[in-house]
């Protein structure tokens, strides 16, 4: 159906045509990708860059990205966190090439320019020349040549950074609902269990849609539905912050009713209770939270997912490499007071998620089959209307409203028509 025809159909149904339609060019056109780097990742946003538990000691650091910009996240001697661009002020080389480690200061391998843990320039070899020759100009001011600094804030152990000097505080950016559910999971000191990385050949926004989409979860993922970890029939909610840029999806597995669920799903390929596991202990865990919630997907604009699936806890960070490629970095964690049995449960259930996870392995492929299908399409658009075609909270999970909330914010920040800007 043409865009004009769909618009007429949407108006007849009472939906907002602009909210329901996302032009495919935003996933493929390099101009949108470049605009996103400036207006989102370097704009009025806070991006997730790591966990406090990843850099617990003074001098600890990790290398990561904000959008496509390489940054270093460091623990200073006073316990504060500093985030700087990983680019030497001299000739632009990467200052830090390791993924993580501990150092008293940073030194660029190219010409050995050195920086302290705040990113201040503290050393320039041959600054005054040799034998009265060479050296930097007499007015060279080291204080003006440090690493570019980002503002950093930690919220219950999650570290966020921003290039903006005018953006609201991180807690205000997240909003009360998001902060509440961050605090629910990050309720006590955590212990890092490990990382997984997955390069996906698709646009990062397709994954942002995916993590705001409860509609797909029991239709794409056979494991979710068959073994009752998540079904759209479960008791759950889909809610957003006030500005509708972040979303919270949660459900309660104890609300399953196999007979009623079978009737709801009919002969769906992803509902087959005849499947079984050779080792059913994978599905045996502990009830950790008093609210009974067993699945949480908290998607924080623009690049973070905080998740609880059964007893597996993790953050997922999206790193953009281009309009058709991004990397998903999964960091698994437990709590410092976990006993041996609980840690074993978390490690076993880690097989549910990640690049080859029994649940999440289909998500990367879903992103790629959309990307492959929309290449070169500049006029057509997707149609997002499940749940009524508007960004609103629901007491059910058959909705795409939180996806519309994401795109409402994207339109405000970047727009759909760069030709007219």
**What is the secondary structure of 242-271 as a DSSP string?**
TTSSSEEEEEEGGG--HHHHHHHHTT-TT-
Residues 151 and 285 reside in one and the same domain: no
Looking at the fold, whether 195 and 100 belong to one and the same domain comes out as no
The pLDDT assigned to 373 comes to 97
111 assigned to some structural domain? yes
Domain termination site, one of 156, 174, 197: 156
Q: Specify the range with the lowest mean pLDDT, choosing from 16-20, 217-221, 244-248.
A: 16-20
Residues 95 and 225 placed together within one structural domain of the fold = no
Residues 75, 140 within the same domain: yes
Mean pLDDT, residues 375-382 = 93
Q: What is the percent of the chain where pLDDT is above 90?
A: 79
Residues 151 and 265 in one domain: no
Instruction: Please indicate, yes or no, whether residues 361 and 412 belong to a single structural domain of this protein.
Output: yes
Residues 6+ apart with CB under 8 A from 303: 41, 47, 48, 66, 67, 204, 317, 318, 319
Percent of the chain at pLDDT exceeding 70: 95
Domain of residue 60 covers 47-156
Per-residue model confidence (pLDDT) at position 10: 44
Note whether 331 and 208 are same-domain residues: yes
Residue predicted with more confidence, 237 or 224: 237
Quick check: 22 and 407 in contact, CB under 8 A?
yes
Beta bridge partners of 83: 73, 150
Asked if pLDDT for residue 11 goes beyond 80, the answer is no
Q: How many domains does the chain have?
A: 2
130 and 77 together in one domain:
yes
Q: Is the pLDDT of residue 3 over 70?
A: no
Q: What is the mean pLDDT of residues 154-173?
A: 98
226 and 340 in a common domain? yes
Answering whether pTM is above 0.85, one says yes
Does some domain include residue 104?
A: yes
pLDDT tens readout for residues 389-398: 999 999 999 9
Average pLDDT rounded to a whole number, residues 171-186 = 98
In a domain, 23, yes or no: no
Residue 87's CATH number: 2.102.10.10
329: in domain: yes
Work out the average pLDDT over 56-64.
98
- 143 shares its domain with 195: no
Q: Is there a single domain that holds both residue 269 and residue 369?
A: yes
Asked whether residue 180 is domain-assigned, the answer is no
Query: Residue 266's pLDDT is what?
Result: 76
Judge if 278 and 200 occupy the same domain: yes
Q: What would the pLDDT profile of 102-154 be if each residue is shown by its tens digit?
A: 999 999 999 999 999 999 999 999 999 999 999 999 999 999 999 999 999 99
């Amino acid at each position: 159906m043409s865009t004009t025809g769909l618009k007429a159909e949407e108006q007849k149904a009472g939906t907002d045509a602009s909210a329901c339609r996302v032009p495919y060019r935003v996933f493929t056109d390099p101009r949108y990708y470049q605009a996103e780097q400036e207006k989102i990742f370097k704009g009025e946003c806070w991006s997730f860059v790591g966990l406090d538990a990843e850099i617990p000691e003074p001098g600890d650091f990790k290398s990561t990205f904000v959008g496509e910009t390489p940054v270093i996240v460091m623990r200073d001697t006073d316990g504060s966190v500093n985030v700087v661009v990983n680019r030497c002020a001299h000739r632009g080389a990467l200052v830090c090439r390791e993924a993580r480690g501990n150092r008293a200061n940073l030194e660029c391998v190219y010409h050995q320019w050195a920086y302290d843990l705040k990113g201040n320039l503290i050393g320039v070899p041959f600054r005054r020349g040799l034998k009265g020759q060479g050296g930097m100009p007499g007015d060279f001011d080291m204080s003006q040549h440090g690493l570019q600094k980002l503002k950093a804030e930690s919220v219950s152990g999650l570290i966020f950074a921003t290039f903006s000097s005018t953006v609201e505080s991180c807690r205000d950016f997240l909003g009360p609902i998001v902060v509440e559910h961050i605090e629910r999971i990050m309720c006590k000191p955590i212990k890092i269990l490990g990382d997984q990385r997955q390069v996906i050949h698709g646009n990062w926004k397709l994954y942002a849609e995916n993590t705001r989409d409860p509609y797909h979860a029991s239709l794409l993922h056979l494991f979710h539905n068959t073994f009752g970890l998540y079904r759209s029939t479960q008791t759950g909610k889909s809610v957003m912050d006030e500005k509708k840029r972040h979303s919270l999806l949660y459900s309660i597995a104890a609300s399953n009713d196999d007979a009623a669920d079978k009737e709801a799903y009919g002969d769906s390929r992803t509902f087959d209770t005849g499947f079984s596991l050779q080792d059913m202990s994978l599905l045996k865990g502990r009830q950790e939270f008093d609210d009974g919630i067993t699945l949480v997907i908290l998607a924080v604009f623009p690049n973070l997912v905080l998740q609880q699936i059964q007893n597996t806890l993790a953050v997922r960070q999206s790193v953009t490499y281009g309009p058709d490629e991004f990397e998903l970095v999964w960091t698994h964690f437990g709590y410092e007071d976990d006993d041996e049995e609980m840690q074993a449960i978390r490690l076993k259930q880690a097989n549910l998620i990640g690049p080859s996870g029994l649940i999440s392995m289909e998500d990367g492929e879903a992103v790629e089959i959309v990307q492959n299908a929309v290449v070169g399409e500049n006029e057509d658009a997707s149609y997002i209307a499940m749940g009524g075609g508007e960004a609103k909270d629901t007491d059910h999970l058959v909705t795409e409203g939180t996806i519309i909330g994401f795109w409402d914010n994207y339109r405000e920040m970047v727009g759909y028509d760069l030709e007219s800007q």
